[in-house]
Structure 1
Amino acid sequence: MRSILARVCSVKEICTECRFRKTTTDPERIKERREHIACLKTDILHRVPCRSDQTEYEDGDQPFCRGAAVYMVKKGMKNALLKAAIEEGFMREDDLKREADLVVD
């Protein structure tokens, strides 16, 4: 599990083109954001893949979108993956909270 979390949590900052940024104006990214938010509310394992880091590992894992992680902490809706990442030290909740002003409400 630790190696999976290390790979999944490899994105250390919100991408400039992140669909969760307040400054995002691209209609397609805004649509994707709405769809992901709906999934985050209902699926405790939903992981939004990072658009800027297109790495796909042989087992199908992709890095977790940092903006989505920040959004989830901001909204108080941490799912199982994010909780495990924080508990195991692959993401720090304080760091995610510091980036909260960058993502949508």
Structure 2
Amino acid sequence: MLNSIPLFPGLPGGPELLIVLLIVVLLFGANKLPQLARSSGQAMGEFRRGRQEIEEELKKGVEDTDEDEAAADEEEAETESVETEAETEAEKEN
């Protein structure tokens, strides 16, 4: 029978991780690694801030629509009360 070899055996462990780090140091150099880490951290921070801003805008939009619906309900209730008052006055006059 054929033994199957998985293409993706899982997350890299200790020795594999050391080999990957060694290759990264060789490619970029030891002086560039802190700069790469700093720039990737800044990019992640910008992404988080942008996501938070979008979430806040969405929440404000939902709150605004809720307020608009509440205002429309109040206006409808006021017009109904004015109509009933007008009807009762008309009945009193008759």
For the superposition of Structure 1 and Structure 2, which TM-score range results when normalised by the shorter chain?
Answer: under 0.3
Q: TM-score, normalised by structure 2?
A: 0.21
The structure showing larger relative contact order (alpha-carbon pairs under 8 Å, at least 6 residues apart) is 1
Greater share of helix residues, 1 or 2?
A: 2
Structure index of larger Rg: 2
